[in-house]
């Protein structure tokens, strides 16, 4: 019986330790935002338009060199607009499968909602009865934060992340037809490397893309400060960073580790000065002369002896 109890407690302890050592993570995909621009009814014209978009947009996105597609169909008041963007390090088959699934999930997660955004790791999709394609506004931002915190000084880590994302954003906006780039940056012994990814929709100009990324990167210290990983995802641009690899292929950019902060100045040392041999000799001679002078003065005094 005692052996059985020991086995049970050992098993329970093992399960508890495994649970405690499992790193907490953000909620798993898909992530959705359901709009407030109205609802449609089953089998009505708007739903028919969404179904037609779901039959064409996945193929159009996967066939595009930039893995991106937009479309609209129908007429007012049932016109539907849609945008699909696949991650720049993906491939055509994965892109088509992801966007197809996104259409299916959007109609379940945001049932009968005319405006739905669904986000996965490999792609995201938005459809709406509002013409969001006419603007580069980065609507429907989702913040995803890893619940683990860095052990390094938070301000130093946050600054390193922003440096990486800004450098990667510069490249994505100016040098990539997909408006996509990845990067890595050396950091410290606990987290040797920070990995980053940025992306805009490829129909944005370089200036609009960089402005969009700049807006969300400046939000990083507010929304993700001290977290070992996180993402800000909008319909027009997004970023992600982690302390473990998460993208495919070699990074577009490699940045060196930031310079180490200067070492603090040494604490002042209180040292009691000691007299040198020469100083000791001078002091001895001084007191000897004083004593001789006093003796000479004493001997010069008249003495009276009384018998």
Segment 223-250, tens digit of pLDDT: 999 999 999 999 999 999 999 999 999 9
Among residues 197, 198, 186, the alpha carbon closest in space to that of 156 is found at: 186
Q: What are the tens digits of pLDDT across the range 86-120?
A: 999 999 999 999 999 999 999 999 999 999 999 99
145 against 291, higher pLDDT: 145
Bond preceding residue 257 cis, omega within 30 of 0: no
Three-state secondary-structure class, residue 185: strand
Compute the chain's Rg from CA coordinates.
37
Contact predicate 82/106, CB 8 Å: no
Partnered with residue 180 across adjacent β-strands are 199
Three-state secondary-structure class, residue 238: strand
Average pLDDT score over residue span 157-185: 97
Q: What are the tens digits of pLDDT across the range 210-229?
A: 999 999 999 999 999 999 99
287 against 45, higher pLDDT: 45
Every domain range in the chain assigned CATH 3.30.430.20: 24-134, 142-255
Contact predicate 168/253, CB 8 Å: yes
Contact predicate 71/53, CB 8 Å: yes
From CA 102, how far away is CA 122, in angstroms rounded?
Answer: 11
Average pLDDT score over residue span 75-95: 97
Predicted pLDDT of residue 177: 94
Q: Is the dihedral of CA 32, 138, 52, 100 positive or negative?
A: negative
From CA 208, how far away is CA 149, in angstroms rounded?
Answer: 32
Fold that domain 142-255 belongs to in CATH:
Killer Toxin P4; Chain A (3.30.430)
Average pLDDT score over residue span 26-55: 94
Predicted pLDDT of residue 304: 42
What is 24-134's CATH number? 3.30.430.20
Distance of CA 257 to the CA centre of its chain: 16
Share of the chain above pLDDT 90, in %: 73
Confidence of residue 268 (pLDDT cuts 50, 70, 90): low
Contact predicate 75/131, CB 8 Å: no
Question: How much is the pTM?
Answer: 0.76
């Amino acid at each position: 019986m005692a052996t059985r109890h020991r086995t049970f407690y050992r098993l329970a302890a093992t399960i508890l330790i495994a649970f405690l050592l499992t790193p907490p993570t953000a909620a798993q995909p898909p992530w959705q935002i359901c709009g407030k621009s109205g609802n449609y009814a089953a089998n009505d014209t708007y739903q028919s338009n969404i179904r037609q978009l779901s039959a064409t947009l996945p193929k159009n996105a996967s066939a595009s060199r930039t893995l991106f597609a937009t479309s609209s169909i129908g007429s007012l008041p049932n016109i539907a607009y849609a945008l699909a963007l696949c991650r720049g390090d993906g491939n055509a088959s994965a892109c088509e499968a992801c966007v197809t699934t996104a259409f299916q999930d959007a109609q379940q997660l945001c049932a009968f909602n005319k405006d739905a955004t669904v986000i996965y790791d490999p792609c995201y999709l938005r459809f709406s009865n509002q013409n969001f394609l006419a603007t580069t506004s980065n609507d429907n931002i989702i913040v995803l934060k890893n619940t683990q915190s860095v052990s390094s000084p938070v301000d130093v880590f946050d600054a390193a992340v922003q440096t990486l994302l800004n450098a990667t954003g510069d490249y994505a906006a100016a040098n990539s037809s997909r408006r996509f780039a990845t990067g890595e940056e050396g950091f410290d012994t606990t987290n040797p490397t920070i990995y980053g990814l940025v992306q805009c929709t490829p129909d944005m100009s370089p200036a609009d893309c960089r402005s969009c990324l700049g807006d969300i990167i400046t939000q990083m210290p507010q929304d993700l400060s001290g977290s070992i990983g996180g993402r800000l995802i909008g319909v027009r641009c997004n970023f992600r960073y982690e302390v473990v690899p998460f993208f495919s292929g070699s990074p577009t950019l490699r940045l060196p580790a930031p310079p180490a902060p200067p070492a603090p100045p040494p604490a002042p040392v209180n040292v009691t000065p000691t007299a040198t041999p020469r100083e000791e000799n001078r002091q001895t001679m001084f007191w000897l002369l004083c004593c001789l002078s006093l003796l000479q003065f004493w001997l010069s005094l008249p003495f009276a002896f009384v018998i």
